[in-house]
A and B are shown apart, each in its own frame.
Chain A
């Protein structure tokens, strides 16, 4: 028996609608051979690190280092307040004009000088957090940042934030990637399997 079949779009790997139509029409839908080796693409996580607060940068570093440890490609777009923790340790006040200098005078940059978003209490909060962290042997943001960069997490600084804060490439830690803008952020977020804004 021959059946006239109209050319229909075949969806890959499996389209429930096409299958439903095929079921009704009684036509065998061509299904991809599941035993065939599918070209594997590594999953990708993108995080936008917007905040410079200890209690936000910390989870960003936990998730990014764990993503890299889980074999994912992980990119972190670092913008606004989120950029200050990635300034080199020895830099105390950065910027070119008094407003920019004032900014880092008020908020000391560097991964070891993060403040809490709540219960900061003039540094008492982070100090107690540090005590608790050591007591329970929780990895510090610095340790996690080192693990993350060692495992290939790509940290991308926002060029516009660098301009606004008066930060030069050499002010940032050496592990930072090439500065980029919003269009890059959009591209990597839409290409990724999951993206977070923290």
Chain B
């Protein structure tokens, strides 16, 4: 089963806290239950997206790494 991404966000190159801040702004554009895919290069974002998911309730569905690029898929609460 392939997952349907409703929105993509390229936060590569950005430092803390901008990947989170931009994700928070972008996730408002999608409907509840839809998925957003975020690409980031900030190594701190691995812990930060997990923490942000717990704080906000937006589920972290998938997390992968390709070289220095981290990919997060989140489902809007």
What is A's interface to B at a CB cutoff of 8 Å?
Answer: 43, 62, 65-66, 68-72, 136-139, 143-144, 147, 150-151
Find chain B residues with CB under 8 A from A143 CB: 18
> Given the known A-B contacts A69-B52, A70-B52, A70-B56, are A151 and B25 also in contact in the complex, defined by CB atoms under 8 Å?
yes
Find chain B residues with CB under 8 A from A147 CB: 18, 21, 25
Q: Are B56's CB and A71's CB within 8 A? A: yes
- Among B14, B18, B23, max chain A CB count under 10 A is at B18
Q: What is the minimal beta-carbon distance from A75 to any residue of chain B, in angstroms?
A: 17
Q: What is the minimal beta-carbon distance from B16 to any residue of chain A, in angstroms?
A: 7
> Given the known A-B contacts A139-B18, A151-B24, A151-B25, are A70 and B55 also in contact in the complex, defined by CB atoms under 8 Å?
yes
Find chain A residues with CB under 8 A from B52 CB: 69-70
Q: Are B14's CB and A69's CB within 8 A? A: no
Q: Are A136's CB and B15's CB within 8 A? A: yes
Interface SS of B by simple majority: helix
B60 at the interface (CB under 8 A from A): no
When A and B form their complex, what is the total count of cross-chain residue pairs whose Cβ atoms lie within 8 Å?
A: 46
Q: What is the minimal beta-carbon distance from B54 to any residue of chain A, in angstroms?
A: 9
Interface string of B39-71 (1 = CB under 8 A from A): 000000000000010011100000000000000
> When chains A and B are docked, how far (Å) is the Cα of A137 from the Cα of B56?
26
B9 at the interface (CB under 8 A from A): no
B33 at the interface (CB under 8 A from A): no
Q: Are B20's CB and A66's CB within 8 A? A: yes
Which residue on A lies nearest to B24, using beta carbons?
Answer: A69
Q: What is the minimal beta-carbon distance from B70 to any residue of chain A, in angstroms?
A: 15
Q: Are A65's CB and B17's CB within 8 A? A: yes
Which residue on B lies nearest to A43, using beta carbons?
Answer: B55
- Among A66, A68, A136, max chain B CB count under 10 A is at A66
Q: Are B14's CB and A66's CB within 8 A? A: no
Beyond A69-B24, A139-B18, 4 additional pairs, beta carbon < 8 A: A69-B21, A70-B55, A137-B14, A138-B15
